[in-house]
Homo-oligomer: A and B are copies of this chain.
Amino acid sequence: MKKQRQDRLLKLLEQNPLVTDEELAGILKSSVSTIRLDRAVLAIPELRERMRRMAQKASSRLRSLKEEEIVGDLLELEPNRWALSALQTRKDMAFRHTDALCDHYVYAQASSIAIAVVEADFVMIDSMRGQYKQRPRIGDVLLARAKVGIHKEDKYIVSVRTRVGEKEIFVGRFIAAVIHSGGSSE
């Protein structure tokens, strides 16, 4: 049947966009013409166009994947006082194949903002404790707010609360340490 084939086509290309029409024809046991026709109907661009787009995305976005998307966008920051960050969750952050978010993304956002809120070049987390309240769903935008509490010498206590709308997701407390680069590292 036509629809089944087109569904399979979509799934195949989602899994691996770098397949030629010929290969697809082989997998779906139909002719190259049919594949092309299906692609035209489904508005799927040709292999080269798909490659081009991925490559472009890669060059522009892979760089930012490091310290933006995983970690959230810093919305507001008042150093050594408080900060606010937003994390748009995506389907690839899901726990297995559910629509529940992996807890380590919540943690990553929280820990990152805890580090960001402390005004120093090199800050690392010493220890933490936290509690997950309600489970965020894929697609939710996580808003994390960090507040700096008391600090002694180079240790700062930072509280982080993460919400989705009115829903409380995570509450945690981090001890962030300022590392003075006297010794190693660049």
Contacts and interface: CB of A to CB of B under 8 A. Distances in A.
A39 interface: no
A56 interface: yes
Number of copies: 2
What is the interface residue range for chain A against chain B? 35 or more
Contacts of A103: 111, 124-125
A110 to B, nearest CB: 9
Nearest to A112: B104
Interface stretch (A60-68, A150-158, A160-168): A60-68
A168 B8 CA distance: 48
Contacts of A125: 103, 132
A71, A97, A108: which has the most chain B beta carbons within 10 Å? A108
Contacts of A58: 54-55, 57-58, 62
Contact of A185 (B70, B98, B108): B98
